[in-house]
């Protein structure tokens, strides 16, 4: 068997080669023989991973500076990781999205689950935003951009370098325009009958959270004629979908004034400005204040940031989710609905559900869990990587 001229790295004798053979996408630094030659490999180097008996397992991207020292790229060790290889991976992902969505607005690449580990690409019609959160993708970025434009036909490609993942890889935080010209204003995106304004250069992450699309749609089914409270609203994810479905009124709460301004602009574009209001402030404080004011709503949704981004802070995160449920439940009118979301991969569904149910019960409320939601199919789950199935949404009728 002829293999490309890639360097070789090897698993330690006690490392679990079977996990790689069964699809595990990551190899940690304590599983690899880290001799002087291996430690000298430049971040982003492509290498052949062998087991301790020198049998080849996969082509991997190596970063000696990262806890995830090797990311599996291809089980075929004779493959060449080049622009043609990137084009094939992108085309496969693109083909699935075009089957799923009738508008060109979706997550095109969801990292490991789409075969491009550490890479996130969101598409906004003629614009794509890349988060190259692994060293190998940063190294091959020109080829990735060329392949992306060839497959999708987008004219503009932006690089978003914000976020914790790049720091863990030893990468910089310098965002850039990689092709075309950056939009001069927020970009309107139509989803679930609503219009969302996405700030692709100054907003959070890539500018919009596509992962909640199916959960927005479910909440909208409960919203006709309802008074809605959307906490941690960002640019109005749940509240604008509710207004599109006929909500009587929606109040969006967030700590970011720019995000709330974008939400208000979206409501105005939908012709729903008179049914929409915003309130800036810390979510915990606003929930407490609304209770003191005697406010109630037919539908309350809380979609906080990751309170438990790692196992180290899992217990503190679960307490925060419980507190949110405890503060939100009294605001739900009898017979109304409460939606609680988590994007913390460290808090699995069972733990998250237990924390939410405990919080609801501690204020004397009870009811049925009527729906459990997850990310949309443009955020596929890698079956051997629990982290890729991070999003949970629970809907209770109280």
Domains annotated on the chain, with CATH: 8-74 (2.30.130.10), 83-179 (3.30.750.80), 187-397 (3.40.50.150)
- Assess contact for 390 and 345: CB atoms under 8 A: yes
- Is 343 among the catalytic positions? yes
Nearest to 87, CA basis, from 12, 146, 22, 161: 146
Nearest to 326, CA basis, from 372, 364, 289, 282: 364
Percentage of residues in the chain having pLDDT higher than 90: 91
2: its two tokens: 């002829």
Residue 187: its pLDDT value, please?
Answer: 97
Sequence-separated (6 or more) residues with CB below 8 Å from residue 391 = 211, 212, 341, 342, 343, 374, 375, 379
Residue 4: its pLDDT value, please?
Answer: 54
Q: Distance (Å, rounded) from C-alpha 109 to C-alpha 272?
A: 33
Cα dihedral 10, 16, 19, 24, rounded to 10, equals -60
Q: Distance (Å, rounded) from C-alpha 326 to C-alpha 390?
A: 23
Q: Are strands 127-132 and 119-124 parallel, antiparallel or unpaired?
A: antiparallel
Q: Distance (Å, rounded) from C-alpha 143 to C-alpha 74?
A: 17
Q: Distance (Å, rounded) from C-alpha 332 to C-alpha 396?
A: 10
Instruction: Provide the strand spans (E) within 166-218.
Output: 176-179, 187-191, 194-198
Residue 237: its pLDDT value, please?
Answer: 96
Residue 218's φ and ψ, nearest 5 degrees, are -65, -45
Q: Distance (Å, rounded) from C-alpha 125 to C-alpha 103?
A: 8
Q: Which of 105, 302, 343, 356 is catalytic?
A: 343
Sequence-separated (6 or more) residues with CB below 8 Å from residue 58 = 20, 48, 49, 72, 73, 74, 75, 77
User: Position of tokens 């085309």?
Assistant: 91
Residue stretches of the chain with pLDDT short of 50? 1-2
66: its two tokens: 């990262």
Q: Distance (Å, rounded) from C-alpha 2 to C-alpha 281?
A: 61
Residue 247: its pLDDT value, please?
Answer: 98
R_g of the chain computed on alpha carbons: 23
pTM of the model: 0.94
Residue 175's φ and ψ, nearest 5 degrees, are -75, 160
Residue 1: its pLDDT value, please?
Answer: 46
Residue 339's φ and ψ, nearest 5 degrees, are -110, 130
Strand, coil or helix: what is 229? strand
């Amino acid at each position: 068997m002829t293999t490309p001229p890639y360097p070789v790295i090897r698993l330690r004798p006690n490392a679990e080669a079977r996990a790689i053979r069964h699809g595990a996408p990551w190899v940690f630094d304590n599983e690899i023989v880290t001799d002087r030659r291996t430690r000298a490999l430049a971040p982003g180097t492509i290498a052949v991973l062998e087991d301790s008996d020198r049998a080849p397992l996969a082509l991997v991207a190596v970063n000696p500076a990262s806890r995830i020292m090797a990311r599996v790229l291809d089980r075929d060790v004779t493959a060449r990781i080049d622009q043609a290889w990137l084009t094939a991976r992108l085309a496969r992902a693109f083909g699935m999205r075009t089957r799923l969505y009738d508008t060109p607005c979706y997550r095109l690449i969801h990292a490991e689950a789409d075969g491009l580990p550490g890479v996130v690409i969101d598409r906004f019609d003629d614009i794509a935003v890349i988060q190259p959160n692994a060293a190998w993708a940063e190294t091959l970025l020109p080829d990735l951009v060329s392949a992306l434009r060839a497959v999708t036909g987008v004219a503009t490609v932006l690089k978003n370098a914000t976020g914790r993942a790049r720091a863990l890889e030893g990468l910089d935080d310098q965002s850039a325009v990689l092709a075309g010209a950056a939009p001069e204003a927020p970009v309107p995106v139509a989803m679930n009958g609503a219009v969302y304004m996405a700030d692709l250069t100054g907003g959070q992450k890539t500018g919009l959270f596509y992962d909640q699309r199916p959960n927005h749609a479910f909440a909208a089914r409960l919203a006709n004629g309802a008074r809605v409270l959307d906490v941690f609203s960002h640019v109005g994810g749940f509240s604008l979908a509710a207004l599109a479905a006929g909500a009587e009124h929606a109040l969006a709460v967030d700590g970011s004034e720019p995000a709330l301004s974008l939400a208000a602009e979206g409501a105005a574009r939908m012709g729903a400005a008179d049914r929409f209001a915003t309130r800036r402030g810390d979510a915990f404080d606003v929930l407490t204040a609304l209770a003191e004011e005697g406010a109630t709503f037919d539908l309350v949704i809380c979609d906080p940031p990751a309170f438990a981004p790692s196992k180290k802070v899992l217990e503190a995160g679960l307490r925060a989710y419980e507190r949110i449920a405890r503060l939100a439940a009294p605001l739900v009118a009898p017979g109304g609905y409460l939606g609680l979301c988590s994007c913390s991969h460290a808090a699995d569904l069972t733990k998250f559900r237990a924390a939410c149910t405990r919080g609801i019960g501690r204020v004397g409320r009870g009811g049925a869990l009527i729906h459990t939601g997850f990310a949309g199919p443009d955020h596929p789950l890698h079956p051997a990587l629990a982290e890729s199935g991070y999003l949970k949404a629970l809907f209770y009728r109280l």
